[in-house]
Structures are given as structure tokens and as C-alpha cells.
Amino acid sequence: MPVDLSNGKPLAWDSAKLDADTKAMLDNLQPNILQAHVRESMSLLLVHFGDGPDGRRFLRSLVPLMKSARKHLEEVRDFNRTKKSGTPYVGVGISKIGYLKVGHSPTRFTDNAFKSGMKRRKDTLSDPAVGAWEEHYQEEIHAIVLIGDATPEPVAATRERVLALLPKTAKVVGEEKGEGLRDAQGRGIEHFGYVDGRSQPLFLADQVAAESGTNWDPFFPLSHVLVPDPLAPHPARHFGSYLVLRKLEQNVRAFREAEEALADALGLKGDDRPLAGAMLVGRFRNGTPLRLHGKPSSEGHPVQNDFSYRDDPGARCPVGAHIRKANPRDSRDGGLERALGVMMARRGQTYGGRTDRPWDDAPATTRPAGGVGLLFMAFNSSLQSQFEFTQQTWADNPDFPAGGTGHDPVIGQGRRDVKVRYPKAWDSAKLSAPQRQVPQTVTMKGGEYFFMPSLAYLKSL
Ligand code: HEM
């Protein structure tokens, strides 16, 4: 039976009743797409091929270091039962020019953003001029090899094995090192100090069952992340996903100053002051959603995610907060992120070391102004209607969801001219006087679009 990507039920991946096509799909799909792979430590190798046939051989030679999505899911199941660790993650993505280089026409791909490459989408995304990107992103990147695991040692060992396979005609034009950040309670956070990676579309029956809720349905069909791999031997059973990679530098000092300035402007005192940052992000630092609480809550481990914005016109969670701009949940038209298929699977990792404690209240002056940030990564079935749509039509659009909302305070790009009003207090219909928007504190330093092909394609090279 052909794999039904729009199936309205979560995928019971370990069911004995699984049909042959779905089994083949899981045996040939790369891991980390349907379910996040542990990647506390990461190395991303950005590769340029000088010679097409050598490039093909290199890509094929990586297959024995890789595992299938099914193998990964089995490892996760075993780990939950026995605490036995799995094997490192090795993922491979190929850019549009990479496909051309290895002699495969990218015309069979349907995504126009992918077929243009990120450099040519810079106006759509209001990105900095390519000349301002980090040098390695200015080069032609043909492929990316992602290596990840729970600790640095297996990543270093696997990285050596990958590099040993690299032909003389190819070079690593750049490398990114991801390093997970955790708060004092061990929760994954980003550099501004907030819990991140919590709200995700879930595709698998066991994951959906573990996340019961009444306000937010975390289940999304496979069509949000998978497309037939057009160059695989059997595109009806061999699937892949589009990967967006963006290096986003965070000026933590400036963000902290903006939080303080907003708290002053709103007259917030004492333990109400964290409300200012929460109004920018939509959650307090410990992940407490502003939709549910006006103060950081100790309830909810894991961090609460069962909420929608129905009945909150913005008095609790401002409509301009990052998480509300990036995922309006069901505030309009039954859930734009679902109706329009926007929700993507975020799989980023923080980069850059810190000697301070990102989650505490130490003064802004003690915070890094650069050199740290997020290696934003997400899997999409359409870069145009998921990642790009979120960035351009929601985050960079001061009129989404309504006039006067302003840019996304965290990731919005473009001139922040519109003045915005915030609730005077949590759950208050009274609004502040119009305020200048917080400055842009996240800077795009480069990136690229890739397709993560099926293992069957890589084996066929
Ligand atoms: C959620 C921070 C970049 C889209 C979040 C959360 C934080 C955060 C703290 C809350 C945790 C959660 O709900 O999972 C950041 C920072 C970024 C960044 C600091 C850059 C340095 C991006 C980009 C996009 C994006 C580039 C997409 C264009 C989302 C989405 C959610 C989210 C869709 C989930 C919202 C929800 O479902 O409620 N981000 N983010 N983020 N972010 Fe970002």
C-alpha cells in the first residue's frame, strides 16, 4: 500500500501490521526527521566537491556510518527500557548545486526555494547581503554532513571517520560545532536563557500518546516533513526532507538590555520584571507559557505545551511574542499552522561557549554581545511554505496577525518602524503607551538549503 503522507493518524512505527511500503520508507529514511536524535554535541561539516564522481563516491561511502530512521527509533525504545546508549547520528544533506555537481538534475525537485539556494532568497527573507555572511557560507556548499551524539567523544571519533573518507578533490569549506546549553534543572535552553525545542510537531504514535492534552494537538501528518525522494530508485517508498540551516548569532547583552528597558517602560517591579522578557518570547525562561501563567510556574515537567490562544486576544500572551508569531496555534481559522501546513520540525542546536549562567539575572554587561547563537535547523516538506513562510509572512511582517503587531522580537528582520503596545500587566486589557520595538538582536551569519535524501538514493550513487 503506498505510504499515505496525509494519514490522519500518528504512525505506529513498530506495529506488526505495518505495510511493506511504510517499512521500506522507515528503512530508507534518515534519522532525526521524524523524531529528534540526541545531538547535545554536534559537528556540521560543510563540503565542497572539486570533482563530481569523487563527490558521488564520498556520499555513497558515508552510508555504512549512517542508520535508518527505524534503527534510530529502535535505539530510542531500547534506551528507554535498558538505558543502553545508541550509536551516533550521521546525516547527509545535498544542496541544489551539490546535485548538479554530482551529475543529477535538481529539476525533479518541486521546491523553488531549494532550487534557488539560500543566497538567492536573501531579499525574500530580508537577510544581510551575502558579502556580510561568514566567509565559508559565501562559498559554494555542495553537501552537509551532520554528526551528533550525547557527548563530544563519539562525535569526534565519527568526524575522523568521515574526514578519512573525504577524497583529495573535496574540501571542508567550513565547520560548525553545536554544543547543548542546559539550565540548572537540566532543561535545554537557548542563549537568551529560555527553554527551547519544546513545541514540536509529533508524527509517531508513541510520541503523541506520551503528550496527551486537550488544548493543543501535537500530532501532524508526515506530509509536514516528508516528500518522495525524486532521484531514489523507488520514490514511492524512498523519502527525504528539506533541511534549512541558518547560523543565527545572538547578541545576548543587547537582548538583556531590551528586556530591562521594556520592564522599566511597563513599570514592572521586583518579581514581575521577568514578564517583560516573557512578553517578547511568549514563555518565561523556565518555559512557562505566558498563555497559562503570569509568573514562572514550577508546575509542569516536562514544560507545559498544552495551550492554544483561543480566548486570549493578547492580554496574556501578546500576539507579537516570538512563539505566537511563529506558531499562532488556533487563534484564527482553525489553526493556520495546520491549515496551511506551516509547522516544521525544528532540530537546531546552540553554538558558542559561555562562562556565565544564561538563565540567571546577572547584569546585561556580563553577557556576550556575539560569538554565540543558534544553528537553526528544521525539516520541511516545503521550504517555501514552511520555513520561508514563517520567516517572511509572519516574523518579518509587522502586520501579522494584525496591524500594529510589530516584527517578531526575536527573529524578525527588516526595519522595525511600527510602534507596539503591550498589556500593562499580565491578563490586563489595558495597553501601554506605544513603545518602540526592541532592537534586532539576532543576526543571520549564513546558511543554505539542503535535501536529506533517502539511504536508497545514497546507496545508488
Ligand atoms: C519556539 C527561541 C529562531 C520558530 C521557540 C522558543 C524559544 C525560541 C525560546 C520556545 C520553546 C518552544 O516552544 O519550543 C528562538 C531563538 C531563535 C529562534 C533564540 C534564534 C536565535 C527561530 C526561527 C524560527 C523559529 C528562525 C522559524 C523561522 C519557532 C517555532 C517555535 C519556536 C515554530 C514553536 C512555537 C510553538 O509551537 O509554540 N523559539 N527561536 N525560531 N520557534 Fe524559535
| 358-416 pLDDT, tens digit each | 999 999 999 999 999 999 999 999 999 999 999 999 999 999 999 999 999 999 999 99
Per-residue pLDDT averaged across 221-229, rounded?
97
* pLDDT for residue 302: 75
**% of the chain residues with pLDDT over 70:** 98
Cα–Cα distances (Å) from 397 to 2, 27, 130, 406, 455, in that order, read: 39, 41, 22, 7, 38
C-alpha to C-alpha distance for 393 and 433, rounded to whole angstroms: 26
For ligand 1, whether the C-beta of 349 sits within 6 Å is no
Task: Answer yes or no: are the C-beta atoms of 142 and 48 closer than 8 Å.
Answer: yes
Q: Which residue has the cell 496574556?
A: 316
Instruction: Give the tens place of pLDDT for each residue, 266-289.
Output: 999 999 999 999 999 999 999 999
- Chain mean pLDDT for the chain: 96
Q: What is the pLDDT of residue 334?
A: 64
244 in contact with ligand 1, CB cutoff 6 A:
no
345 C-alpha to ligand 1 centroid (Å) = 11
| Ligand 1 center from residue 178 Cα (angstroms) | 17
Q: Which atom of ligand 1 is nearest to the CA of 344?
A: 33
Q: Does the reported pTM lie above 0.95?
A: yes
For residue 323, give the ligand 1 atom closest to its CA.
35
Which pLDDT does position 371 carry in this prediction? Answer: 98
How large is the average pLDDT for residues 294-314? 88
Which DSSP symbol is given to 387? I
Over residues 89-100, mean pLDDT = 98
Q: In this predicted model, what pLDDT tens digit does every residue of 140-153 receive, in sequence order?
A: 999 999 999 999 99
Q: What is the pLDDT of residue 332?
A: 64
Q: What is the C-alpha to C-alpha distance for residues 144 and 456, in angstroms, rounded to an integer?
A: 18
Mean pLDDT is lowest, of 1-5, 61-65, 104-108, for 1-5
Amino acid at 212: S
CB neighbour list of residue 166: distance below 8 Å, 6 or more residues apart? 47, 58, 172
Rounded distance from Cα 198 to ligand 1 centre (Å): 9
CA dihedral 344, 349, 354, 358 (to 10 degrees): 30
Q: Please give the distance, rounded to the nearest whole angstrom, from the Cα atom of residue 379 to the centre of ligand 1.
A: 14
Mutate which of 410, 442, 443, 444 for ligand 1 pocket (most atoms within 8 A of beta carbon)? 410
Residue 232 has pLDDT above 90, yes or no: yes
Whole-complex ipTM: 0.99
